Amino acid sequence: MKYLKQFFIILLISLIGEILKATISLPIPASIYGMVILFVCLLTGVIKLEQVKDAGKFLIEIMPVMFIPAGVGLMVSWGDLKPILMQVSVITVVTVFTVMISTGLISQWIIRRNKEAK
């Protein structure tokens, strides 16, 4: 019963997320509404960590498997990707560099400045 209850809570929040997505016309996926709701519920103590932890951790652990069908979809979208393969590759690699460097250096600067202030 423990897992069933936990899974039920997570599904209920997913459902609320879907209802919000259907009623609010913003380009926000249902899962994001759900994630924010669960986070706020945990922070405020409406839901205790133990009430969702096991089922949630299991879902997160097997999550990579859930992306396989979408990845396999490349079979049909290969025709759309092929003409821009070069551009997509450049963007993919360059962005890894720019994002890591900007986040890393800026947060490091803030941390070191705080340390000096202390």
Partner 1 sequence: MEQFFSESAYSAVAVSLVSYGLGNWLKRRFKLGLFNPLLISIVCTILFLVVAGIDYETYKSGSSLLTWLLTPATVSLAIPLYEEYELLKANAKAVIIGIICGVITSLGTVLLLSKLMGLTHQQYVTLLPKSITTAIGMGVSEELGGYVTITVAVIVITGVIGNIIGEWICKVFRIHEPIAKGLAFGTATHAIGTAKAMEIGEIEGAMSSLSIAVAGIFTVALASVFANFM
Q: How far is CA 48 from CA 6, 63, 104, 107, in A?
A: 11, 23, 34, 32
Q: Which of residues 80-109 bind partner 1 (CB under 8 A)?
A: 80-81, 84, 87-88, 90-108
Q: Residue 94 Cβ, how far from partner 1 at the closest point, in Å?
A: 6
CB 18, CB 38: distance < 8 Å: no
Q: Which of residues 4-63 bind partner 1 (CB under 8 A)?
A: 7, 10-11, 13-14, 17-18, 26-32, 34-39, 42-43, 49, 52-53, 55-57, 59-60, 62-63
Q: Residue 1 Cβ, how far from partner 1 at the closest point, in Å?
A: 18
Within a 13 Å sphere around the CA of 112, how many CA atoms are in the beta-carbon half?
6
